[in-house]
């Protein structure tokens, strides 16, 4: 369960991530030796695992912030379940089973045959994955776009980072379904830029992404709202748990597909991205326990802007190739700027508080004298 974070250093939060890094890289080196039988082959696989881990971490800053935003409202029991079973599902489900499932559906073969194909014919496995990139990008891009727009189209949102944009979006939120209309309009625009069967596939996958988001929202609301009919352990948790798992799947699309540019070995990909996923877990715990989102008020905004940009990039990837490095750097830059803005805001608040302190003291003294 998540504690209060007092007395903990940043390194203490990253302890298990460091342990996972050592184990993962050692496993990668062993796998490289087993498959190639040479020191150069072992070093190559070791390096690829390290690069994949860095790629996953760079793409997942926004994921960790959104996780923390949802996690802080979950019950301690469900926080613990997400940080244990949730991470297992994230590493093995989304980064091993999910790519296999894509090949099962795309190639029309069984799960065991897909696993054998990944082990014995990695080039063919990678080809099938790349051919399935368009519907994956359309589905994941739509889901992430809805996540980002739902955050900004919220009439109760009163903290704004980029005021002239966010104030208008918050006011527009009184129009029901405006974010859905916005996404549907983008789907139509991008589908017109594609041709033939590709346009048809894009629209179908994007609509499924939209329906999945709405289904998760409805199911999550039903599971978390009826608290009287639920046990104490399940209150405020299962719906959020499902939401976070689907969100992680959408975030992992880009990393999994991009990983095939470095290696076609499913198991090397799983090791590299798995290491990165452990850092996401550690960052999530640190953000919740240290109250970082509350302390840096615009950090959350930066993460959701990064999500919106990632969703548009995924749409654009249906037409042109955009390197994952650009995606990762773009998201990290936005989060960095939002952090800098938060620090500036806090500094201004402290300066104003310092100037107002004597007046506040006078008021307290006056109140005390009135009571006596």
The residue extents of the domains of the chain are: 10-362
Place of tokens 């704004």: 160
Here the tokens at position 18 are: 């460091």
**How many alpha carbons fall within 13 Å on the CB side of residue 206?**
27
**100-129 burial code (b ≥16 CB/10 A, e <16):** bebbbebbeeeeeebbebbeeebeebbbbb
> C-alpha angle 160/164/168, rounded to 5°?
85
Q: From CA 146, how far away is CA 173, in angstroms rounded? A: 13
Q: What is the pLDDT of residue 223?
A: 61
> What mean pLDDT is predicted for residues 172-199?
90
Q: What is the pLDDT of residue 361?
A: 45
Q: How confident is the prediction for the chain on average, in pLDDT?
A: 78
Q: What is the pLDDT of residue 2?
A: 57
Q: Express each pLDDT in 186-222 by its tens digit.
A: 999 999 998 888 999 999 999 998 998 888 778 766 7
Q: Is 69 helix (H, G, I), strand (E, B) or coil?
A: helix
Q: What is the pLDDT of residue 258?
A: 63
Answer yes or no: are the C-beta atoms of 296 and 55 closer than 8 Å.
no
Q: Express each pLDDT in 271-329 by its tens digit.
A: 888 888 888 888 888 887 877 777 788 888 887 888 888 888 888 888 887 776 676 67
Q: What is the pLDDT of residue 141?
A: 86
Q: Express each pLDDT in 118-158 by its tens digit.
A: 778 877 877 887 777 888 888 888 988 888 898 888 888 88
What is the reported pTM? 0.71
103's CB contacts (< 8 A; 6+ apart) are 109, 114, 117, 118, 125, 128, 129, 132
Q: What is the pLDDT of residue 232?
A: 45
Q: From CA 252, how far away is CA 267, in angstroms rounded? A: 16
Q: What is the pLDDT of residue 148?
A: 86
Q: What is the pLDDT of residue 123?
A: 78
Q: How much of the chain exceeds pLDDT 90, in percent? A: 8
Query: Residue 47: which pLDDT band, with cuts at 50, 70 and 90?
Result: confident
């Amino acid at each position: 369960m998540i504690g209060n974070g007092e007395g903990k250093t940043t390194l203490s939060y990253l302890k298990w991530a460091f342990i996972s890094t050592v184990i993962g890289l050692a496993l990668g080196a062993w796998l490289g030796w087993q498959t190639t039988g040479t020191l150069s082959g072992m070093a190559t696989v070791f390096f690829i695992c390290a690069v994949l881990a860095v790629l996953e971490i760079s793409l997942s800053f926004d994921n960790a912030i959104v996780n923390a935003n949802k996690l802080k409202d979950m019950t301690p029991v469900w926080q613990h379940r997400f940080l244990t079973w949730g991470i297992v599902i994230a590493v093995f489900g989304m980064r091993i089973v999910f790519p296999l499932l894509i090949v099962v559906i795309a190639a029309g073969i069984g799960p065991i045959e897909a696993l054998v194909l990944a082990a014995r014919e990695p080039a063919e496995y990678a080809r099938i994955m790349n051919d399935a990139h368009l519907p994956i990008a359309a589905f994941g891009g739509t889901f992430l776009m809805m996540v980002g727009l739902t955050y900004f189209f919220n009439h109760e949102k009163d903290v704004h980072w980029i005021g002239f944009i966010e104030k208008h979006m918050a006011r527009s939120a009184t129009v029901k379904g405006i974010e859905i209309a916005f996404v549907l309009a983008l789907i139509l625009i991008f589908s017109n830029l594609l041709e033939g069967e590709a346009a048809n596939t894009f629209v179908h996958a994007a609509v499924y992404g939209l329906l999945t988001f709405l289904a998760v929202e409805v199911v999550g609301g039903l599971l978390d709202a009826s608290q009287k009919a639920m046990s104490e352990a399940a209150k405020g948790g299962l719906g959020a748990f499902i939401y976070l798992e689907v969100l992680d799947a959408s975030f992992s699309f880009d990393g999994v597909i991009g990983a095939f540019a470095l290696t076609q070995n499913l198991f090397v990909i799983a090791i590299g991205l798995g290491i990165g996923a452990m850092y996401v877990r550690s960052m999530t715990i640190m953000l919740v326990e240290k109250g970082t989102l509350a302390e840096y008020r615009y950090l959350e905004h930066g993460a959701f802007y990064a999500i919106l940009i990632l969703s548009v990039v995924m749409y654009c990837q249906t037409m042109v190739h955009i390197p994952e490095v650009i995606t990762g750097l773009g998201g990290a830059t936005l989060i960095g700027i939002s952090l800098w803005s938060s620090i500036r805001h806090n500094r201004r608040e402290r300066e104003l508080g310092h100037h107002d302190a004597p007046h506040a003291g006078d008021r307290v003294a006056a109140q005390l004298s009135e009571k006596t």
